[in-house]
Structure 1
Amino acid sequence: MERHLCFLVYPDFVLFDLSGPLEAFNLARALTGGGYRLTVASLDGGTVLSSCGLAVVTEALPAGPFDLLVVPGAPAPLAGDWVPRLTRALADAAEHSARVASICTGALLLAAAGLLDGRRATSHWLVVPQLQAEFPAVRVDGDRIFVADGAVWTSAGMSAGIDMALALIEADCGAEVARNVARMMVVYHRRPGGQNQFSPLLEFDPASDRVRRALGFARDNLAGDLSVPRLAEAAGLSTRQFARAFTAETGQTPARAVERLRVEAARALVEDSRRSFEEIARATGFGSADRLCQGFLRTLGRTPQELRREGRRNQGDRVPSQAH
């Protein structure tokens, strides 16, 4: 079965929002011997200039129907007489699309077209407040890297569009094809949609190599001994020096930082696997389901049980249907 996918671009779109997911689907097409037909379109066809200055050749937006209509984002708010025309065309095309998806700030266009009303959605963390303020009917979840609500998919910034594409490929072509695409692109197969847009490692951003080395060691050994003496050893500092330097550079105690790293790893398993909470607790260093639950409550304000129920609802939402 060949599925028709259409990417709708416009002046000043982000090139990577197009090229990353487009290449993922192109690889899936090669692996399946023609599972996808790919179209890059614009309102009137012809060359369209991306935000980085590279022009892309497009065809005029076809009438459809489409199995998937994808809208990339832009680095700045769109302005011009053509913008209302674009949102109208997007709304019309969605009527003839089994699924609709946005990448990064493309969620603002979906919202402007009325396609996100009453739905869960995400976008780049920079525009999440704008999305919520301008479109109060949208149930914005800025913590997720992508969200599937029925036939409408939204993703966070840039590389999250590849994660969303892999999830769509898995739904269409199976897990093995998606895994092979991920291997060919040298990306994870696949970051779950519930993963935070921010990694604690990026948020801590320590100044010294030694503290960074300790954080890297912690990330790679979550199930092991991550006591202050062990982390100090990995950093090459005395216990007292390490504890003082770590807190000064990250604003967190070592214990709190380790817990956040463990929660990040455990959350992905809680939402996207069938492993028991005891297994997840052992794999991520919490030791027991009770301690796992306590860590989740302190860090996320929610229990693993609540997140798993939400993850299962999201999995259930991934059923192709009319978008609008």
Structure 2
Amino acid sequence: MHSVALAVTDGTPLFELAAACEVFGVDRELADPWYSFMICGDDGARVGGWLNAGIGRGLDALSEADTVIVPSCRDAEVPPPPALVAAVRAAHAAGARVASLCTGAFVLAEAGLLDGRRATTHWAHTALMQRRYPAVRVDPDVLYVDDTDVLTSAGKAAGMDLCLHLVRQDHGTAVANTLARTLVVPPHRPGGQAQFIPAAVAHGAGHVLGDVLPWALDRLDRPTTVRDLAREARMSPRTLARHFTAVTGMSPLRWLHTQRIRLAQELLETTSLTIEQIATRTGMGTATTLRRHFSGQLGVPPETYRRTFRGLTP
């Protein structure tokens, strides 16, 4: 059973802690086994400054976990507690996958785990992180960054995006999608946190693509060009590209490609369709094209992905 440990110190904000508890600490029988879950921290630590967290283990127990979740810092302007930094560093050295939610990235950076890596945090604190930790390649535009054994997420709700991503890694797309439906949240939100930064909201987060995105998703099996999307959205290709970047964080064609790969993942997990049939359903055309793009994006061919995740489908 994959073990997940949540690191808590006095004053840890409640929201991200609750998201991790909801995803990893509740056995929903979506996969067998699910996760073993423990909260580690200082005895008597209060979440949000008032709620007794019911700590089960000390911070040293983080080293026993397969995955360590580090929620937000109480105050990003203040260096994180040395004991927490040391415990997270030791857990990573022991082989744990370490993921931070929101400003928890400052703990990872203080521990040296983000040196030379791409990482993110809440957009309001990305400039501070870059100044304080110049060795970190801070990306202010994304919802989360997956750098194999170290993962970081943007602010607040992006922590749920990252938690679902971890479930998707461990148990497959179908399980993550089912969990997302249970929690009544999107299994994958398009775009990055740029769409939530005040300066960007006025420009491109006014749901200008609210009609064209579902339209494109309904016809992934057919060839679709930028001109087709622009015609459906009733705007020029150049204007469409600008809105796509603001809303989804990627170009129109890159977004289409990503959706086709995600559909291929779901079909591989939930159906017995052949690779050729899935290539047709996803608009990839041929099995050869699907294999090339699937392997390029996920690092494994479709057949290997199916063997890995087919038996985990709920």
TM (normalized to structure 1)? 0.66
Identity among equivalent positions (%) equals 33
Partner residue, 2:233: 285
Of 117, 120, 128, the match for 1:119: 117
Q: Which moved more, 1:304-313 or 1:29-38?
A: 304-313
**Gap change, CA 1:31 and 1:128, over 3 Å in 2:** same
Q: Which moved more, 1:16-25 or 1:121-130?
A: 16-25
Is it true that 1:143 corresponds to 2:91 in the alignment?
no
Structure 1: gaps (5+ residues): 206-214, 224-264, 319-324
Classify the secondary structure of the residue corresponding to 2:63: coil
| 1:246-257 alignment, distance < 5 Å | none
Partner residue, 1:254: none
Q: Which moved more, 1:302-311 or 1:101-110?
A: 302-311
Query: 1:3-49: CA deviations, max 9, x gaps?
Result: 0111111111111111112201234653224321111101xx42311
Query: 1:254-305: CA deviations, max 9, x gaps?
Result: xxxxxxxxxxx69x98xxxx98554982696267867644666899998556
Classify the secondary structure of the residue corresponding to 1:130: helix
Partner residue, 1:102: 100
Deviation, 1:147, is 1.0
Is it true that 1:47 corresponds to 2:79 in the alignment?
no
Q: Is the 8 A contact 2:144 2:152 kept in 1?
A: yes
Looking at structure 2, the residues matched to 172 and 103 of structure 1 have their Cα atoms a distance apart, in angstroms, of 18
Classify the secondary structure of the residue corresponding to 2:48: coil
Partner residue, 1:169: 167
Partner residue, 1:210: none
Looking at structure 2, the residues matched to 74 and 301 of structure 1 have their Cα atoms a distance apart, in angstroms, of 27
| 1:235-274 alignment, distance < 5 Å | none
**Gap change, CA 1:315 and 1:118, over 3 Å in 2:** farther
**Gap change, CA 1:3 and 1:305, over 3 Å in 2:** same
Looking at structure 2, the residues matched to 291 and 187 of structure 1 have their Cα atoms a distance apart, in angstroms, of 29
Q: Is the 8 A contact 1:277 1:289 kept in 2?
A: no
Amino acid at match of 2:53: V
Looking at structure 2, the residues matched to 186 and 18 of structure 1 have their Cα atoms a distance apart, in angstroms, of 18
Looking at structure 2, the residues matched to 193 and 302 of structure 1 have their Cα atoms a distance apart, in angstroms, of 7
Q: Which moved more, 1:130-139 or 1:67-76?
A: 67-76
Q: Is the 8 A contact 2:194 2:246 kept in 1?
A: no
Of 54, 58, 66, the match for 1:57: 54
RMSD over aligned Cα, in angstroms?
4.2
Q: Which moved more, 1:146-155 or 1:279-288?
A: 279-288
Deviation, 1:197, is 4.9
Looking at structure 2, the residues matched to 131 and 39 of structure 1 have their Cα atoms a distance apart, in angstroms, of 29
Structure whose alpha-carbon radius of gyration is higher: 1
Structure 2: gaps (5+ residues): 260-292, 301-314
Deviation, 1:97, is 3.3
Partner residue, 2:280: none
Q: Which has the higher contact order (CA 8 A, sep 6+)?
A: 1
Deviation, 1:161, is 0.6
Amino acid at match of 2:176: A
Q: Is the 8 A contact 1:49 1:56 kept in 2?
A: yes
Q: Is the 8 A contact 1:143 1:196 kept in 2?
A: yes
